[in-house]
Amino acid sequence: MRLIDSHCHLDSFAESGELSGILERAGDAGVKHFVAIGTSSRDFEANYQMAKKFPNIDYSIGVHPLYHGDPMPNFEHYLHLDKPPVAFGEIGLDYHSLPSDSSDAAIGAQKDLFISQLNAAKKYGLPVVLHSREAFADTFSIVSKSGIGGDRVLFHCYGYGAGEMAAINEFGAYVSFSGTVTYKNAHALREALAIANRDRLLMETDCPYLAPVPHRGKPNEPSFLAHTARFIEEFFSAEGGGVLEKIFANTARFFHLSIG
């Protein structure tokens, strides 16, 4: 089993001195490569330093929608380093926890930040990793009008149903499933997984969050991707196998990773 964790947050492991052990356990579980995802200027440098130290870590740059009040980072600085980012993200919209007294203003600020970063991704020629929570219609409308082709767009940690998946399939975008698909009550996610384009399908941990069964409720780590992988492999078992190798190839293709 060869796996790539397409979306993980490793900076806390590095800060606590746990990263080497985390990566070793992941390797033992079949996870061979990692994409450390940026959320703000708080983690860009940490992700870059990890990627420099470990050849099997790549990283992205981008400001999460919940950090819309932060100053805009100097994205271009990272594009000229010896190991540049492989994607722009995670960027998008998150309407889950809007302030009750200024929700319209927060939504407007998120949209402005999202659009400006899509323009930057287009300028720099980087694929886009999207965060979309309780905001599919607006997310899809903005990205589909951005001029960035679907084959350069990834909906990370998919959290919608089959109807939204059908729209994503038509657009030609990629989609990534996390450990949430293993949860007992995740019926809508599994309905969406069933119709997902196999040539656009990825997996992730989103660690240290969203640990899959049997570790649900515990801190997540990249080695746990193996549980999600086995679930997805069994889910598609009637198709004759090979889905995990396809997901590996899809991930390498989307991020342009140089791995065997």
* Overall average pLDDT of the 65-81 stretch: 94
Contacting residues for 72 by C-beta, under 8 A, at least 6 apart: 63, 116
The residue with tokens 């492991």 is 13
Res 260 pLDDT > 80: no
- List b or e across 172-187, with b for residues whose CB sees 16 or more CB atoms inside 10 angstroms: ebbbbbbbbbbeeebe
Mean pLDDT of 180-197: 98
Q: What distance in Å separates the CA atoms of residue 130 and residue 197, rounded to the nearest whole number?
A: 17
93-107, 124-138, 206-220: segment of lowest average pLDDT: 93-107
pLDDT at 100: 84
**Is pLDDT at 2 greater than 80 in this prediction?**
yes
Burial 196-205 (b: 16+ CB within 10 A, else e): beeebbbbbb
Mean pLDDT of 204-232: 98
Q: At 240, is the pLDDT very low, low, confident or very high (cuts 50, 70, 90)?
A: confident
For 114-143, what is the mean pLDDT? Answer: 98
Q: 204: which 2 tokens?
A: 């992730």
Q: Is 212 in contact with 227 (CB distance < 8 Å)? A: yes
Average pLDDT over residues 80-100: 95
Domains of the chain: 3-255 (3.20.20.140)
- How many whole angstroms separate alpha carbon 92 and alpha carbon 38? 13
pLDDT, residue 253, reads 98
State the pTM of this model. Answer: 0.97
- Alpha-carbon gap, residue 228 to 211, rounded angstroms: 9
pLDDT at residue 101, rounded to an integer: 84
Structure-token match 């980087």, residue found: 126
For 102-118, how does the pLDDT look when each residue is reduced to its tens digit (9 = 90+)? 899 999 999 999 999 99
Residue 245 has pLDDT above 80, yes or no: yes
Give the residue from 179, 183, 168 showing the smallest Cα distance to 132.
Answer: 168
Question: What percent of the chain has pLDDT above 70?
Answer: 100
- Looking at residue 9, its pLDDT comes to 98
- The pLDDT of residue 259: 83
Q: What is the DSSP letter of 211?
A: P
Answer for the pair 73, 63: CB distance below 8 angstroms, yes or no: yes
Backbone angles phi, psi at 19, to 5 degrees: -60, -45
Q: What DSSP element (H or E) covers 23?
A: helix 19-28
pLDDT digits (tens, 9 = 90+) for 9-23: 999 999 999 999 999
